[in-house]
Amino acid sequence: MVRLEGVAKRFPGGGGVLGVDLEVGEGEVFVLLGASGSGKTTLLHLVAGLHLPDAGRVFLGGKEVTHLPPERRQVGYVFQDQALWPHLTALDHLLLVMPKPDRKEALGLLERVGLLDHAHKRPHQLSGGQRQRVALVRALARRPQVLLLDEPYSALDPVLREELRLEVRTLLKEQGTTALHVTHDPEEAMLLADRVGVMSQGRLLQVGSPKEVYLHPNSLESFLAFGRANLLRRDGEVLAFRQEWASPGGSLIAEVLERRELRGEVLCRVRLEWGEAWVRLEARPGERLHLKIDPLLHFPAP
């Protein structure tokens, strides 16, 4: 459905994407995960036609669209800042972008996201969550070949964010919509993605299922993209493991230095032979433990 071949775009002030190859299948929810400035949003802009690539080709639905203006690419876009039109009502947003404006269908979409009673309200009369829902159904209203979502929940409070992202995933799957979703939140990536692509410094480092990339990162950057990382240096290499990969038993000696509780889970700061680390297990400060870390990843030191 979406195919990128060697797509590159550099900006005079730095940043951009460097030769990305990617294929997203029909009905798939693909999440691009990476830190700020890694090139995720640029990649979405290249798919949408908001930027033109310096090199490479973009295909949507098997047709090359590299040279097409945004309005001829048939994509839907949920922008980070929503980009709603302040002079239009929620219903007008949908009618304006529909190839054949159909009031009944538009109202149906609004009803689907619980906004039927707000159909005639303008953006400033809606709450943050309602605005984000309008942005979502506006993007779906033109029946896009691919839906592009650029950190759509970043401006929302945590409760609403959690509620909305599950709702969106259900909606996308119900409609069989292909989606390319950008986020820097590993939890969001794990929750929403059929497949994840990790981006760093303009490159697509690894593509796979969320579990695969989480458990078997192919680089230190991929490993770090999922957060909760312990990095310890030893003999020119970096030993990396996540807090939850440590468990009692095994041959490693650990001295517990500090204990903290965080949202129902206990984290301990421990001293290992290679340095200090945070691990998720129950222990008391001063206690000496035998630990097993599995997997323990080895990366060349940067």
- In terms of CB distance, is 57 or 259 closer to another protein? 57
- In terms of CB distance, is 56 or 128 closer to another protein? 56
Output the smallest distance, CB 77 to another protein, in A.
5
- The region that residue 52 occupies, defined by phi over 0 for left and psi between -120 and 50 for alpha, beta otherwise, is beta
How far apart, in whole angstroms, are the C-alpha atoms of residue 19 and residue 265? Answer: 41
Output the smallest distance, CB 85 to another protein, in A.
5
- In terms of CB distance, is 83 or 266 closer to another protein? 83
How far apart, in whole angstroms, are the C-alpha atoms of residue 8 and residue 21? Answer: 10
- In terms of CB distance, is 139 or 256 closer to another protein? 139
Output the smallest distance, CB 62 to another protein, in A.
19
- In terms of CB distance, is 21 or 237 closer to another protein? 21
Q: Looking at the DSSP assignment, which residues form a beta bridge with residue 59?
A: 3, 64
76 exposure class (CB count in 10 Å sphere: 0-12, 13-18, 19+): buried
* Closest to 143 in 3D by CA, of 86, 183, 191, 105: 105
Contact 43, 54 (CB under 8 A): no
Output the smallest distance, CB 140 to another protein, in A.
10
Can you give the binding site for another protein, defined by CB under 8 A? Answer: 48-50, 52-57, 66-71, 73-77, 79, 81, 83, 85-88, 96-97, 99, 138-139, 141-142
Output the smallest distance, CB 30 to another protein, in A.
18
Q: What secondary structure letter does DSSP report for 49?
A: T
